[in-house]
Structure 1
């Protein structure tokens, strides 16, 4: 059977139904076409393939050797499509499959990792890959499916949902304050050890750690005694008495080893956003994870 070009699936589908039914009439009823239209499609396919597909006789149709070969291939395609259709239905109706979620190390460690186990208990057929990085992965290139971002995305094809605000303040350990005293004003920071976040971080993240520049000329910042490129390590350094540093209230306010200082000074705030591509908005596991995080965000913000 020589095929000089790609076969027309519409003709293959009509041929398959005719072969299943055994007559043009029965196939036409199932396809909701006229008998003549079905017959023309089969004849056109035979002409295209340059081989007969049916032996025609008064009691019905019998597949030729070539027809039987094509029928087995068409049946396999039909079964594969049915299975795919079922999987697509399940994907949109029942949460299942892989989900890649990205967030910063800070928000991932403070909040997201604490929520994941509960989500996995609720949806045992979903598998999550949690990617913690300061880089904003490209969702349109499928580097991740869902992102928790610390600023509003600008891409028009991304769905965004605000989750909660993160408030930052200056913190120091009780041990440090007992040794060196508590700063009562911004100017008092000049006499204290400052610990800061540094390294390869987005500028808006580095700007949160403003204690070196607070109350100083931009060209004459106060020095940092310690610069750490990891937010979790920075918080631990503050807790262990390395100095005064900026940290989110959600991570430090309930820590009995530290205390907020400079409470009357206005400090920065970041809004968090749940972000994912428009094209996967109807996928059940995405919907389930979105609704779960929105609920958790509301509980956490209280």
Structure 2
């Protein structure tokens, strides 16, 4: 290989790649944790070096040119190579000090992780813990997190997953709200119940109706994907919410609703990380520590 010919700044190529994927400099800057002027300079520098126009500027959006499209596949391959290089390097690191990023849902992050992290910090003060709080699945292959707590088994073969147990989901509400239904003991009698939902889809309605409920969208007049807001609304006596029993145990203002009808569902708890990171002493330590603590919490 003629190494003298390989004289491209990876930051410039990465700026081009992410800008092409996101469509705007502002979105690309947000994804990379950079600024719009910085990315603009990097893309312009790459265009000047290549003597090619990679994007046509149309207002706030950037339309990739034919030349850009031809180079985009190569940029993708370089991105994969850089990511694999980073994963392998991180995986071979045997230093315990450093950062580990953990992805968790809002309820897990707020109610379960703080005590676990407190104990971990006592035992491993040299490890910096960053928590990504999201109800979406963080992309471990793109390093959005090193470790993720999930309710499903990953499909990718290069991810390592360990099932820790199952969490049981019940309905919860304030006692004052449940006092409105003193004589109603069956699913079919609870047609005027108000449930605080996640979205406007029929998935939850269909799930519950298969269990014997007779619900419509009128039973879901409050909707938010933010689980902490759901909790706050339920504490105001505005309806019932779905909660794992280990989380609800930490919220004394709510009681289990219609316990005689049984739980709503059971969800598996998986701890997931990339196989390259699993060989890192630091990531392995956090993975094992969180795994043991979560498993004990579910038992």
TM-score (norm: length of structure 1): 0.62
2:61 aligns with: none
Q: Mapping of 1:110-125 within 5 angstroms?
A: 110-125=111-126
- TM-fit CA distance, 1:113: 2.9
1:34 aligns with: none
Question: What is the root-mean-square deviation of aligned Cα atoms in Å?
Answer: 3.1
Q: Does 1:260 align with 2:262?
A: no
Partner Cα distance (1:153, 1:234) in 2 = 27
Partner Cα distance (2:172, 2:266) in 1 = 15
8 Å contact kept, 2:149–2:271: yes
Write out the 4+ residue segments of structure 1 that deviate beyond 3 Å after TM superposition.
4-7, 87-91, 179-183, 206-218, 253-256
- TM-fit CA distance, 1:135: 2.0
Partner Cα distance (1:88, 1:226) in 2 = 44
Aligned length: 214
Q: Mapping of 1:153-192 within 5 angstroms?
A: 153-181=154-182, 183-192=184-193
Structure 1 pair 246–230 and aligned structure 2 pair: CA distance change class (3 A):
same
8 Å contact kept, 1:95–1:125: yes
Q: Does 1:249 align with 2:220?
A: no
1:224 aligns with: 220
1:296 aligns with: 293
Q: Unpaired segments of 5 or more residues in structure 2?
A: 5-88
Q: Does 1:278 align with 2:280?
A: no
Partner Cα distance (1:241, 1:102) in 2 = 31
8 Å contact kept, 1:158–1:276: yes
8 Å contact kept, 2:102–2:130: yes
8 Å contact kept, 2:91–2:278: no
8 Å contact kept, 1:212–1:224: no
1:144 aligns with: 145
CA-to-aligned-CA distance 1:70-100 (integer Å, 9 cap, x gap)? xxxxxxxxxxxxxxxxx989931x4111111
Q: Unpaired segments of 5 or more residues in structure 1?
A: 8-86
Partner Cα distance (1:244, 1:145) in 2 = 34
Partner Cα distance (1:186, 1:229) in 2 = 25
CA-to-aligned-CA distance 1:210-236 (integer Å, 9 cap, x gap)? 557753579x55531321221122123
- TM-fit CA distance, 1:182: 6.2
2:284 aligns with: 287
Partner Cα distance (1:89, 1:103) in 2 = 22
Partner Cα distance (1:262, 1:182) in 2 = 11
CA-to-aligned-CA distance 1:164-213 (integer Å, 9 cap, x gap)? 311111122111123453641111221222222227xxx89x64995577
8 Å contact kept, 1:211–1:245: no
Q: Mapping of 1:1-302 within 5 angstroms?
A: 91-92=93-94, 94-181=95-182, 183-198=184-199, 207=204, 215=212, 220-253=216-249, 255-266=251-262, 267-302=264-299
8 Å contact kept, 2:167–2:298: no
- TM-fit CA distance, 1:127: 0.9
Secondary structure of 2:172's aligned partner? strand
- TM-fit CA distance, 1:160: 0.6
Partner Cα distance (2:90, 2:199) in 1 = 45
Structure 1 pair 96–182 and aligned structure 2 pair: CA distance change class (3 A):
farther
Partner Cα distance (2:197, 2:2) in 1 = 65
